[in-house]
């Protein structure tokens, strides 16, 4: 019986009601309004590219396209090359794959591949670590057409925390998927 007294006293102390004072929630990152809505198509070197209608786009020389997603804090730099035959496509593709790996800078990434309805082999790479200036990269090629499309979303300011921008990086991934799906 004497052994049970300390145990009962401890249980009584643990059941004390601390009151109903509110406990603050952990700090959360604000939700931003993402660029969205409809899409528009831009012809780049003979290839139709579907981008968000609200994004600012500027075509450059030699099959270059720059798309600014201000709300997401990122810019897409996209390029198209056509007429790549007799090994030129394989060489350009090897160069682009190497560039994508270098853009990750040794960080961990996830690569997804698919074949779109127009016969393009499509690849999207999503960085899974913070501090990578290129959170999403895309690559597509069509052997029979001799066409190569590649691009990278670049943060305006590289984030320090992966969690803080995960929804935005996911939105950029969805934009890359829509672009590749529309080729």
**pLDDT confidence band for 16 (50 / 70 / 90):** low
pLDDT-based confidence at 92, cuts 50/70/90?
A: very high
Indicate left, alpha or beta for 78 from its phi (over 0: left) and psi (-120 to 50: alpha): beta
Q: What is the mean pLDDT of residues 92-101?
A: 96
Instruction: Check residue 110 and give its pLDDT.
Output: 94
pLDDT at position 17 over 70: no
pLDDT, tens digit (0-9, with 9 covering 90-100), for 131-170: 889 999 999 999 999 999 999 999 998 777 766 778 889 9
Task: Say which residue, 50 or 36, is predicted with more confidence.
Answer: 50
pTM: 0.80
Tell me the mean pLDDT in the region 7-34: 59
Q: Which residues pair with 52 in a beta bridge?
A: 39
Q: What is the mean pLDDT of residues 34-54?
A: 89
CA 141 to chain CA centroid, Å, is 20
- The DSSP-derived string for the chain is -TTHHHHHHHHHHHT--------PPPP-PPPPPPP-S-EEEEEETTEEEEEETTSEEEE-TTSEEEEEETTTTEEEEEEEE----TTHHHHHHHHHHHHHHHHHTT--EEEEEEE-TTS-EEEEEEE-STT-S-SEEEEEEETTTTEEEEEEEEESS--S-HHHHHHHHHHHHHHHHHHHHT-
Rounded mean pLDDT of 68-78?
Answer: 95
**Whether residue 8 has pLDDT greater than 60:** no
pLDDT of 119: 95
By the 8 A CB rule, do 154 and 127 touch?
Answer: no
Q: Judging by DSSP bridges, how do beta strands 147-155 and 56-59 pair with one another? A: unpaired
96 vs 12 pLDDT, higher one: 96
Supply the pLDDT for residue 87: 95
């Amino acid at each position: 019986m004497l052994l049970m007294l300390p145990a009962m006293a401890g249980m009584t102390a643990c059941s004390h009601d601390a009151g109903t004072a509110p406990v603050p929630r952990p700090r959360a990152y604000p939700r931003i309004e993402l660029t969205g809505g409809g899409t528009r198509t831009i012809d780049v070197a003979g290839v139709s590219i579907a981008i968000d209608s609200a994004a600012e786009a500027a075509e450059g020389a030699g099959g270059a396209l720059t798309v600014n997603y201000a709300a997401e804090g990122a810019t897409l730099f996209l390029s198209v090359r056509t007429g790549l035959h007799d090994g030129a496509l394989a060489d350009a593709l090897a160069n682009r794959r190497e560039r994508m790996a270098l853009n990750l800078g040794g960080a961990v990434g996830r690569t997804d591949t698919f074949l779109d309805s127009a016969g393009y082999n499509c690849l999207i790479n999503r960085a899974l670590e913070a501090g990578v200036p290129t959170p999403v990269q895309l690559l597509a090629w069509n052997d029979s057409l001799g066409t190569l499309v590649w691009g990278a979303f670049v943060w305006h300011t590289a984030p320090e925390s992966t969690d803080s921008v995960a929804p935005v990086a996911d939105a950029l991934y969805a934009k890359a998927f829509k672009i590749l799906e529309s080729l």
